[in-house]
A = this chain, B = another copy of it.
Amino acid sequence: MLSADLIAREALALIDAEGTAAFSLPRLADRLGVRTASLYNHLDGRAAVVEGVRRLVVEEMDVSAFAVLPWPDALAAWARSYRAAFARHPHAIDLLATTTISSPATLAMYEAVVAALARGGWPRERLVAVLTSVESFLLGSALDLVAPPLMIDPAGHAPRVPVLAAALRAAHDGDKAARADQAFEAGLDALIRGLVAQSEELRGGGSG
Contacts and interface: CB of A to CB of B under 8 A. Distances in A.
Interface in A94-112: 94, 97-102, 104, 107-108, 110-111
Copies of this chain assembled into the complex? 2
Given A151-B101, A155-B102, A133 B186 contact: yes
Interface of A: 21, 94, 97-102, 104, 107-108, 110-111, 114-115, 118, 124-141, 143-144, 146-148, 150-155, 157, 160-164, 166-168, 170-171, 179-180, 182-184, 186-195, 197-198
25 contacts: A21-B21, A94-B94, A97-B147, A98-B143, A98-B147, A98-B148, A99-B148, A100-B151, A102-B153, A104-B157, A107-B160, A110-B164, A127-B163, A129-B171, A133-B137, A133-B187, A135-B144, A137-B140, A139-B143, A140-B141, A190-B190, A190-B194, A190-B195, A190-B197, A193-B193
- Chief secondary structure at chain A's binding surface: helix
Nearest to A102: B153
Given A107-B157, A194-B189, A143 B140 contact: yes
Contact of A160 (B104, B125, B138, B155): B104
Given A101-B152, A157-B104, A187-B132, A167 B137 contact: no
A193 B200 CA distance: 13
Contacts of A135: 140, 144
Contacts of A126: 186
A164 B100 contact: no
A52 to B, nearest CB: 16
| 9 closest cross-chain pairs (CB), A and B | A133-B187, A190-B194, A136-B140, A140-B140, A132-B183, A128-B171, A193-B194, A194-B194, A127-B167
